[in-house]
Amino acid sequence: MSPDHGQRFIFDGHPVRGQMACIEDTLAQVFDRHQYPARVAEQLGEALVAAWLLGDTLKLDGSLVLQAKGDGPLSMLMVERDSQGRLRGIAKHSDDAALTQGEGLQSLYGAGHLSISLLPNRGERYQGIVTLEGNSLAEVIDGYFARSEQLPTRLWLTADGTRAAGMLLQQLPPNPGEHIEPGYWEHLTTLAATLKPIEMKTLPAEQILHRLYHEETIKLFDGHDIAFHCPCSRERSARALTSLGVEDLTALMNEQPSVSVDCEFCGAKYAYDQTDLAWLTSDNSAPGSDQLQ
């Protein structure tokens, strides 16, 4: 399908919905700040698409964060989707040689876990955690939904160094006039599993759905653009500095003429001079843009 685009669809008369997504320019902007080894790039690409697909099933005024942590050579991976469908992501890894050894997730992450966090702008936060067991991120996320009491959900993900794509199916509670036929969900997911990675990354959504479900009646909704976005700012970085505490900030002021905070997601750099640091250690409230030099 078209890169940097997401597509929703439903199976007419059945309580099943789906989403597809493909990213290219967004992926390039994430990779532009870091030189990731091939397997790390694949994991990060799949995670970005997964976050977009999962976030698209929710009416969330806030962000969805998908994070994997482990004690292996790929120690951390984090991606975020905001309420407008924009993405950012980062990964941390050790030496490249260890990343080429073995197969499956354990050879990358070692012993670890995957968390899915919902961070609304208002209201309570939610986090679900599952062990990183299986051969792929899609398999781990499938297992998370299978173990929880949430809606039956399946994902198919693929990524390389230039493009990432995925598809999600989710069974919903039936509306009036809809019904759940025995075996229908299994029928749809079995057909989806025949989709090849190259098809997910290159074919239009309409063609993919016709190949898989030409005997079904499907309603395709308007698509959504996907883009890279990092919400970092000078003010947010200043608040991060104040979280260090007055004592540590004062020590920094005495050691050096200015302090720099770098955003790992987008590469932005924010410098704070002695005037800024004096304000940050004062009893006043957190500074706004008009108060920082």
Domain ranges in the chain are 5-228, 234-280
Residues in contact with 287: Cβ distance below 8 Å, sequence separation at least 6, in sequence order: 235, 238, 276, 279, 280
Q: Which CATH superfamily is domain 234-280 in?
A: HSP33 redox switch-like (3.90.1280.10)
- Tell me: the pLDDT tens digits for 267-284? 888 888 888 877 787 765
- Half-sphere exposure of 174 toward its Cβ, with a 13 Å CA cutoff? 9
Full-model pTM: 0.86
**19-57 residue pLDDT tens:** 999 999 999 999 988 889 999 999 999 999 999 999 998
pLDDT of residue 275: 81
Can you give the pLDDT at residue 284?
57
Instruction: For residues 239 and 235, give the distance between their C-alpha atoms in angstroms, rounded to a whole number.
Output: 6
Phi/psi for 235 (5° steps) reads -70, -40
- 17 pairs with which residues across the strands? 10, 170
What pLDDT shows up at residue 132? Answer: 93
The list of the chain residues with pLDDT below 50 reads 285-293
- Say what the pLDDT of residue 293 is: 43
pLDDT at 292: 44
Which pLDDT score, from 0 to 100, does residue 71 have? 92
Assign a CATH topology to domain 5-228: Hsp33 domain (3.55.30)
Q: Which amino acid is at 11?
A: F
Of 178, 175, 158, 176, the C-alpha closest to 167 is 158
